[in-house]
């Protein structure tokens, strides 16, 4: 009886060893296949990305300088036009300037995007509301002038 139990436990350990070896082999084959797939089809980045990823895509890279700090509105327009771009902040100058790197083949789309972006910026600046303090100063002057004219009118009525 004892010998039979020992034989069964040895047989079980041999089977589990074969099973783990097969599982390990299958996992390694799957990992190698995934690595091969990654090597053949690298991930393609779209939209905003780092300069490093933009250069790795193999297309020629150009850049344009932007001095405005309102980059978020440009990002929205660039996304709308499907432009792959990278932003780089140059802090060596005061005020800091921004460099927009883009693929050379996206130049036409970028000019259209910049046209729309500059239109938005001009439109936003033209919509700026006048300062409330300036309006108050103007109104105070108008009220003073009205008060002076009223007091003159009262003096003229009293004299008559």
pLDDT (tens digit per residue) in 25-58: 888 899 888 888 878 876 777 777 777 877 777 7
Q: Is the pLDDT of residue 158 over 60?
A: no
Q: Which of 70-74, 80-84, 99-103 has the lowest mean pLDDT?
A: 70-74
Pairing relationship of beta strands 97-103 and 61-66 according to DSSP bridges: antiparallel
- Residue 67: per-residue pLDDT: 66
Q: Cβ distance 98 to 65 under 8 Å?
A: yes
Highest mean pLDDT among 53-62, 134-143, 144-153: 134-143
Is a pLDDT exceeding 60 seen at residue 95?
yes
Q: Provide the mean pLDDT of the chain.
A: 77
pLDDT of residue 91: 80
CA distances from 4 to 12, 15, 60, 125 (A): 12, 17, 74, 92
């Amino acid at each position: 009886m004892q010998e039979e139990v020992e034989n069964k436990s040895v047989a079980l350990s041999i089977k589990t060893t074969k099973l783990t070896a097969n599982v390990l082999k299958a996992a390694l084959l799957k990992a190698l296949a995934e690595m091969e797939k990654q090597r053949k089809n690298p991930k393609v980045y779209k939209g905003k990305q780092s300069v490093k990823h933009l250069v790795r895509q193999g297309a020629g890279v150009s850049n344009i300088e932007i001095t405005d700090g309102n980059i978020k509105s440009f990002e929205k327009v660039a996304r709308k036009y499907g432009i792959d771009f990278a932003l780089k902040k140059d802090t060596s100058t005061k005020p800091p300037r921004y460099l927009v790197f883009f693929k050379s083949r996206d130049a036409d789309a970028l000019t259209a995007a910049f046209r729309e972006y500059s239109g938005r910026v001009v439109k936003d600046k033209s919509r700026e509301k006048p300062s409330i303090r300036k309006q108050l100063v103007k109104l105070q002057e108008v009220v003073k002038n009205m008060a002076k004219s009223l007091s003159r009118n009262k003096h003229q009525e009293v004299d008559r």
